[in-house]
Structure 1
């Protein structure tokens, strides 16, 4: 075991310790494997291990370091991968029974790039079946519990990823996001996540779609989760690039951040419930965070909004999202969604999603045109502002509700906002605001708790402005402090 405790260290700190020979790759791996064995029976975040393969790679990393060849950006750093990505040596199930025994012959493109950068991948993390819920549970592996409060959800679909980071089981994670699936778990578990601009990171080898499909879907992205904003950029730089580049080739050159000083950023804040539901206690946490910014000399505009109709934007998002999801559903599941919409009110989720699943190609093309208008409205907004801060969901982490696991069950569930039950699927409102326009968003903790639970915020930027949102998040870490572990809840 290493002489220094690196349980909650950042990946960059681990990288420095490895380079200084203060710790070996094998020691780091053993530290994390020991924590998985000690804590994972409680939280159920890690659902597969490749101990033998990981130890072999860690030894090889140490040998390369001894020869002076350990130069990869992730050389020797242990990490886990969301179980929606193909990773050789472990099953890739996406929580689906039919994929229980599917063992891919090659890595997903992003996973291959991570291995090529020298990381020691040792496990896979839990998620909802089909990556289609804001709770991480499935019939194969069961329910993942939140290290802050085991009665609350970790979010989804990268819920096991965020829980593993919060519990100190891994320093880095690769997740995916189409409905807030990186940002929501980061928010609920008090860690960091980055939804990349659409098209920056290959999702080839991700499930869904089913294994063997190569088309890059609309809306869906891959991106990093970590315990610091700097680590997000470290991993993003490794996985950048579409499939055509290949795992070992050059990536995309993103524009530099717009500013390098916190006070230079032109910051807008959208923190009210006029457009989308928002619990007042969560809104108060965000307001306290905004007060922190003002004390640091940041100019904050709480009135500015993009020239969009939020209700129309959300409608376009829902129709696009469930056209994509519906196309990949197994026939029985698709029919269940359609059946749930029959006779339902026109404004209900059951009806709206049933209609989206059944839409025609001309209707889908019309959505594409509406999205183009949204792209332009957001582009104009970011002429006068550098980042927009807004909530990630209506609430902080909510209690588990896993009586039914089918998608139609989500039409009937409820969450509580200011004491009032609202539709469970309203969890998609704030994430969808960003996703529908292909924008980048960095989720960071506000360093405030609501009912003992962490409250996050998303930093939204212009398309391809990933380095701008990441830089803003890094400057916040420097001035306000970084990740705080759930002290007293993890050993």
Structure 2
């Protein structure tokens, strides 16, 4: 039976603050869980630390857009009582978290930023939320998203704009931008987002935290999106955002598994990763790509990381990439991405997409055209694209015979200035002094995402302006623990989360 969260307070209406516990504001799940077991801190005090951070920064950052701290304190006291009685639910017991707005929470609204769904109250928890509650984690609230989860920013007409904790004039990313901003500022110990077009990865990169895009199919998306979501949508996955790599593994362990109907027959057991040091790893390094040029600051961080790994004694293969037609992959990914998300379109918008697809010029592979062609894709044409996806997956498997992981950019630039004019596909980024269509960086999402590969993001450096730059660590399918392990080793070598200093 799902816990009910019937009392929902929008931002600014939390109950009277509990005594602040600032020392815990930026701590890891691992540190908090160990202190809970030693009775050095209570779950209620951890909630208070998150609430203090929320009170201090949410007015500016606007990461947590729905909250119920009164309910969180009630649950925290229950978790404290369970610990006192010798009952521990697992590594997340008593640890506070937030969840992306697009996941259902019983009694709370799921709107994906659309004012037309302002009154859409979920009747049950999404599968991910239920698993986390069963694991003993304490839900604080929901985090902001862009309209229909279709932007690398996080703003909408219901909840407003979320800002980057390192520079409030810049984006925290999207569509899990509120998730990353909440974790970065200490409003939550972790969050779970979704990713079909870098929606977990680019917010971690922009905000300087860790995240993990799981292998496709490992985490049920039942209860995600509207109207309630399906367990295994094409390309889309769920995954954690946290302040340390080890914390990613803790959360992932709690949320992986088949959906409710299949759990009686299926069990998931990921291959263990025995890599014990950076010198034992074969790294592929891809700092840039002609199909999707990245800014010099981003490329420098990836290249400098590769050189540092060589100094650590690791084997580094420079300019590593799967042997495939990258432009063709980007076209295929864009078509399948828009085919997967066309169900979000209203009838009028879909009719307009059909007309635009019919009017598209043959051979026009711009995103402006392909978004409509993909939305209008016939099922027969969708099926004809699947052999291409299999060919790309085979190319990735061949690459992983030469390297253990591939390190590559997450996005074309570090966090860019907020820009809410027009649609995302109508905007540009300044990349090396030249305008680049914002949608070009979909390449770095689909390069591995189309084939369902796991990708962990870890901090990799800073731009000349001091903005965080992340590295995308891509591993073979189902080897999620490998990419997370590599992120953990990088963290131990100094590539770690640092709180914002603004």
TM-score band w.r.t. shorter chain: over 0.9
SS of match in other structure, 2:418: coil
Q: Secondary structure in 2 aligned to 1:236?
A: helix
Secondary structure of the structure 2 residue equivalent to 1:5: helix
Deviations 1:423-453 (A, max 9, x none): 1111211111011111000011103334221
What is the aligned counterpart of 1:295 among 289, 311, 335?
A: 311
Q: CA deviation at 1:476?
A: 1.0
* One of 483, 486, 489 as aligned partner of 1:469: 483
Aligned residue number for residue 145 of structure 1: 163
Name the counterpart of 2:433: 419
Contact 1:306–1:378 (CA under 8 A) maintained in structure 2: yes
Q: CA deviation at 1:344?
A: 6.0
Indicate how the Cα distance of structure 1 residues 316 and 123 shifts in structure 2: closer, same or farther if over 3 A, else same. Answer: same
Q: Distance in 2 between matches of 1:2 and 1:153?
A: 28
Q: In the alignment, which residue of structure 1 is the partner of 2:133?
A: 115
Of 415, 431, 445, the match for 2:459: 445
Task: For residue 36 of structure 2, give the secondary structure of its aligned residue in structure 1.
Answer: helix
The CA distance in 2 between the partners of 1:327 and 1:111, in whole Å, is 23
1:234 aligns with 250
- Measure, in 1, the Cα distance between the counterparts of 2:21 and 2:187: 18
Asked if 2 retains the 8 angstrom alpha-carbon contact of 1:116 and 1:247, the reply is: no
Name the CA distance, whole Å, in 2 between partners of 1:367 and 1:426. Answer: 21
Residue 227 of structure 2 corresponds to residue 210 of structure 1: yes
Asked if 2 retains the 8 angstrom alpha-carbon contact of 1:153 and 1:400, the reply is: yes
How well do the aligned residues superpose, as a CA RMSD in angstroms?
1.9
Does residue 135 (structure 1) correspond to residue 153 (structure 2)? The answer is yes
Question: Which of 190, 194, 197 pairs up with 1:176?
Answer: 194
Answering whether residue 466 of structure 2 is matched by residue 456 of structure 1, we say no
C-alpha spacing 1:418/1:481, structure 2 compared with 1 (3 Å): closer
Report the Cα offset of residue 264 of structure 1. 1.0
- C-alpha contact 1:112 1:247 (8 A) present in aligned 2: no
Distance 1:332 1:215 in 2: 27
Q: Please, which of 55, 66, 71 is the counterpart of residue 48 of structure 1?
A: 66
Assess, with a 3 A threshold, how the Cα gap between structure 1 residues 177 and 460 changes in structure 2: closer, same or farther.
same
**Contact 2:162–2:178 (CA under 8 A) maintained in structure 1:** yes
Contact 1:320 1:364 in 2 (8 A): yes
Q: Name 2:493's counterpart in structure 1.
A: 479
Q: Structure 1 unaligned runs (5+)?
A: none
Which of 267, 276, 280 matches 1:260? 276
Residues 221 and 320 (structure 1), Cα distance of their counterparts in 2 relative to 1, 3 Å cut? same
- Could you tell me how far apart the structure 2 residues matched to 1:90 and 1:450 are? 42
Aligned equivalent of 2:285: 269
CA deviations 1:371-429 (Å, max 9, x no partner) are 1111111112112211000001111111111123xxxx223211111111111111211
Q: 1:280 touches 1:418 (CA, 8 Å); kept in 2?
A: yes
Distance 1:359 1:371 in 2: 16
Range 32-41 or range 251-260, more displaced: 251-260
The partner residue of 2:331 within 299, 309, 315 is: 315
Quick check: 1:53–1:89 contact (8 Å CA) kept in 2? no
Tell me the SS of whatever aligns to 1:151.
coil
| Cα distance in 1 between the residues matched to 2:378 and 2:236 | 21
Q: How many correspondences in the alignment?
A: 482
How far apart in 2 are the matches of 1:284 and 1:7?
31
1:456-484, Cα deviation, whole Å (9 max, x unpaired): 01000000010110111111111225211
Q: 1:294 to 1:87 in 2, by over 3 A?
A: same
> CA separation in 2, counterparts of 1:110 and 1:247?
14
TM-score by length of 2: 0.92
Instruction: Report the secondary structure of 2:493's partner residue.
Output: helix
CA distance in 2, matches of 1:245, 1:480: 43
1:218 shift after superposition: 0.8
CA contact (8 A) 2:210 2:248 kept: yes
Going from structure 1 to structure 2, the CA distance change for 1:218 and 1:258 (only over 3 Å counts) comes to farther
Match of 1:67 in 2: 85
Cα distance in 2 between the residues matched to 1:475 and 1:391: 18
Measured in 2, the distance between the counterparts of 1:154 and 1:127 equals 10
Q: Does 1:199 pair with 2:217? A: yes
More off after superposition, 227-236 vs 58-67: 58-67
The residue aligned with 2:7 is none
Q: What per-residue deviation string (whole Å, max 9, x for no partner) do you get for residues 165-197 of structure 1?
A: 111111101111000000000000001110000
| Shift, 1:313, TM fit | 0.9
8 Å CA contact 2:458–2:495 kept in 1: the answer is no
Q: Within 2, Cα distance between the matches of 1:36 and 1:98?
A: 27
Question: Any unmatched runs of 5+ in structure 2?
Answer: 1-18
Q: Deviations over 1:177-233 (max 9, x none)?
A: 0000000000000011100000000000000x422x535211000000000000000
1:291-340 per-residue CA deviation (whole Å, 9 max, x = no partner) reads 22122111111133211111111111001001111233112333444556
CA separation of 1:381 and 1:281: change in aligned 2, threshold 3 A: same
Matches of 2:427 and 2:355 in 1, distance apart? 17
Aligned equivalent of 1:98 = 116
Instruction: Measure the CA separation in 2 of the matches of 1:257 and 1:335.
Output: 49
1:11 equivalent in structure 2: 29
Structure 1: how far apart are the matches of 2:91 and 2:265? 14
Give distance in 2, aligned partners of 1:210 and 1:427: 28
